[in-house]
Structure 1
Amino acid sequence: MSETAVADFVGRFHTADVESAEPVTGRILLSHKRLVLATGDFKTTIPLSNVIDINLGTVPPALAEFFSDTVTIAYADGDSKRTAIIEGKGENVERFKTVFFKVLLSGQTVIVKHPAKRGGRVTDAGDRKMKLKLSEGTLRLDGNGGDFEIDLGSVTSFGREKRNLGGKTRPALTVDHASGGTTLSTIITLPNNRKLNLLGRFLKLEYSELMEELEDLTFTEEQIEALVTLYSAGGRAKLQDLLTGDVNETQVILDQLRDKELIEDIETGMKLTAKGQAVVSDHIEDVNM
Structure 2
Amino acid sequence: MNERVIADFVGQFYVNDMDRAEPVRGRIVLSPKRLVLAGEDCKVTIPMAAMFDVAVGHVPPEMREFFSDTVTLAYNTDEGRRMAVIEGDADTMEKFSTVLFKANLNGREVTVQHPARRGGRVVDSPAKQARLSVDDGTLAFRSGDSSFSIDLATVTDFEKERRTLDGTSRPALSVRHVPRTTALVSVFALTSERLMNLLGRYLRLEYTDIVESLSDMSLSDEEVQVLLAIYSAGEDVDPLDVVAADASQTTMVLKGLRKKGLVVDDDRGTALTPKGRVVVNSRLEEVNS
Q: Which amino acid aligns with 2:21?
A: A
What is the TM-score normalised by the length of structure 2?
0.88
CA distance in 1, matches of 2:27, 2:97: 17
Q: Deviations over 1:16-46 (max 9, x none)?
A: 4654322222111111100111123221110
Q: Could you tell me which residue of structure 1 aligns to residue 43 of structure 2?
A: 43
What is the TM-score normalised by the length of structure 1?
0.88
Q: Relative to structure 1, is the Cα distance of residues 59 and 207 closer, same or farther in structure 2, using a 3 angstrom cutoff?
A: same
Q: Could you tell me which residue of structure 1 aligns to residue 117 of structure 2?
A: 117
Q: Could you tell me which residue of structure 1 aligns to residue 142 of structure 2?
A: 142
Q: Which amino acid aligns with 1:148?
A: F
CA distance in 1, matches of 2:38, 2:235: 50
Answer with 156-165 or 204-213: which moved more: 204-213
Q: Deviations over 1:133-191 (max 9, x none)?
A: 11132111112473222122222221112111122111111111122212211111111
Deviation at 1:248, TM superposition (A): 4.3
Equivalent position SS for 2:87 = strand
CA distance in 2, matches of 1:11, 1:273: 38
Q: Which runs of 5+ in 1 are unaligned?
A: none
CA distance in 2, matches of 1:144, 1:220: 49
Q: Deviations over 1:58-79 (max 9, x none)?
A: 2222211111111100011113
User: Which residues in structure 2 correspond to 1:79-90 (within 5 Å)?
Assistant: 79-90=79-90
Deviation at 1:193, TM superposition (A): 1.3
CA distance in 2, matches of 1:46, 1:156: 34
Paired residues of 2:229 and 2:239 also in contact (CA < 8 A): no
CA distance in 2, matches of 1:33, 1:236: 50
Deviation at 1:120, TM superposition (A): 2.3
CA distance in 2, matches of 1:257, 1:76: 47
Q: Which amino acid aligns with 1:9?
A: F
Identical positions, percent: 45
Q: Which amino acid aligns with 1:25?
A: R
CA distance in 2, matches of 1:22, 1:222: 53
Equivalent position SS for 2:64 = helix
CA distance in 1, matches of 2:36, 2:200: 24
Q: Could you tell me which residue of structure 1 aligns to residue 222 of structure 2?
A: 222
Q: Could you tell me which residue of structure 2 aligns to residue 77 of structure 1?
A: 77
Q: Could you tell me which residue of structure 2 aligns to residue 189 of structure 1?
A: 189
CA distance in 1, matches of 2:47, 2:214: 37
Q: Deviations over 1:225-251 (max 9, x none)?
A: 332444467658889778865554234
CA distance in 2, matches of 1:175, 1:204: 11
Answer with 254-263 or 153-162: which moved more: 254-263
Paired residues of 2:230 and 2:271 also in contact (CA < 8 A): yes
Deviation at 1:5, TM superposition (A): 0.6
Answer with 16-25 or 235-244: which moved more: 235-244
User: Which residues in structure 2 correspond to 1:202-241 (within 5 Å)?
Assistant: 202-231=202-231
Q: Which amino acid aligns with 1:255?
A: K
**CA RMSD after TM alignment:** 2.7
* 1:100 partnered with 2:100: yes
Paired residues of 1:238 and 1:268 also in contact (CA < 8 A): no
Q: Deviations over 1:88-147 (max 9, x none)?
A: 333332221111011001111100011111112211111001111111321111124732
